[in-house]
Amino acid sequence: MSRETPQRGGRAGLIGAVVALVVALALAATSVFAGSEIVHALTGTPKAHWQAGTTPQAPPPVLEAMNAQAPIPTESGVSASLAPLLSAQALGPHVTASVVDVSTGQSIFSSEQDAAMIPASTTKVVTAATALATRGPAYRIQTRVVAGAQPGEVVIVAGGDPTLGVFPTSYYPGAARIDDLAAQVKKALGDTAPTKVTYDVSVFSGSGIGPGWDPDATTGGSGAVITPLMTEGGRTKPLKYSDRYAQPDQQAAQAFAKALGAPATAVVAGTAPQGARELGKVESAPLARMVEFMLQESDNVLADALARQVALAKNQPASFEGAATAMKGVLQDLGLPVAGYGLVDGSGFSRNDRLSPALLTGILTLAARADQGDLHAIFSGLPVAAYSGTLATRYVKSQEGGSAAGLVRAKTGTLTGVNSLTGIVVDADGRTLAFAFMADQTTNPNQAVIALDRVAAALAACGCR
């Protein structure tokens, strides 16, 4: 299994911004490619279109407003620009694609766009859309504590928030904190000392390990066993690729007991009494913020936790199977094409997952509509080329799609032998396009990443008429 490229934005946002600005200014000052010339620029020596002493233009905004008056690229023009790049040896023998004009929903380029492909982490676009559509962007996941059967006994009732904070600085921005919850409970107990801490994780069901996950999925630092009670995504250290606890729910309950002043031996699994008095409650960051972080960082634990929120909202079991069923139903309700849908998790960790390029571009096109405000957090969450998230270290070299730095906003996908990229771009004429490119038989992941970035850069430079 391959990890997504480590991000350079977020905590290092200032550095990322400076790098992005320098890259954009350098590109504006040295070369501007248009139409079919981008193919030459990405495969050979770029042609310079500037003169010494010319003042460079300011870098373009990361995401321009859609210009419905800009000309739509022609199918033949886009095909002439993209087809040679999609045939790159690095992408292997099987590549599918979909490019759609966002304003009209018109397909302007496709190659097996309805094919069911292993999506890797582009799955998270589906998870984001369905979670936002069902829960809404302002929804917050609650973690509650209620009184147990006897004085001094308390029950922490999990709601499915994997971001609960215990580190001095929470890994997840805006996360609810275990120490805040413990402070509420101690105040509610008054002079009664806590004697027993029960943790109720009944909100989720089924296995915590997804079908088709690689053996290192919960031990390699990219994911964890999915439980409804977790701190810091199960991390043992405040690092993106930290080791994870083998039993995240038990560990979280023990962390809560410690904050209460109770020993770890006081922790047991169980369920809350019916109608028990509430002693404390904390809430996660708004769902829109969680979606943004999930997409930026390609956070697998957060993705599978949010998929279960879709299941809960649609009265399905909060399991891998229930989440997959619920997400498909939401997509159908939204009028999206589900012929290629075959997800088994919400993160894209599984090699059993299947999605079509047409579904991914359909989601992005729908989310751009003015009447779909609940879905707009998808766009603020997508990584930006050469600046943020899993695209922070990509598009920084001219021969690796650098002309599209700051112009491509996309979700990456990487598993061993699988590379995908889906997002939006404003082309050279100002037309907003949604794209999805998927390759499932790659052998050199680094070269495959570069090849996909070149395709997206070609689309950004395309007037293609």
Say whether 165 sits in a helix, a strand or coil: strand
- Please report, for the chain, how many H helices and E strands are present, in that order: 12, 12
Q: Assign 28 to helix, strand or coil.
A: helix
CA 28 – CA 49 distance, rounded (Å):
10
DSSP track, 30-98: H----TTHHHHHHHSPPPP---TTPPPPPPPPSSPPP-TTSPPPPHHHHHHHHHHHHT-GGG-S-EEEE
Residue 143: closest CA among 152, 125, 126, 156: 156
Using an 8 Å Cβ cutoff, are 394 and 407 in contact?
Answer: no
417: left (phi > 0), else alpha (psi -120 to 50), else beta?
left
Give the residue from 295, 325, 293 showing the smallest Cα distance to 310: 325
DSSP state of 112: S
Contact between 26 and 53 (Cβ < 8 Å): no
Terminus-to-terminus CA distance in the chain, angstroms? Answer: 40
Nearest-angstrom CA–CA distance, 243 and 238:
10
Q: Residues with Cβ < 8 Å from 221, sequence gap 6 or more?
A: 3, 240, 241, 242, 243, 244
* Block residue for tokens 């990405």: 42
d(CA 420, CA 415): 9
User: Looking at the DSSP assignment, which residues form a beta bridge with residue 142?
Assistant: 283
Spatial neighbors of 323 by CB under 8 A, at least 6 apart, are 304, 307, 308, 310, 311, 316, 345, 346
Q: DSSP characters for 424-447?
A: EEE-TTS-EEEEEEEES--S-HHH
Residues forming the active site: 121, 124, 298
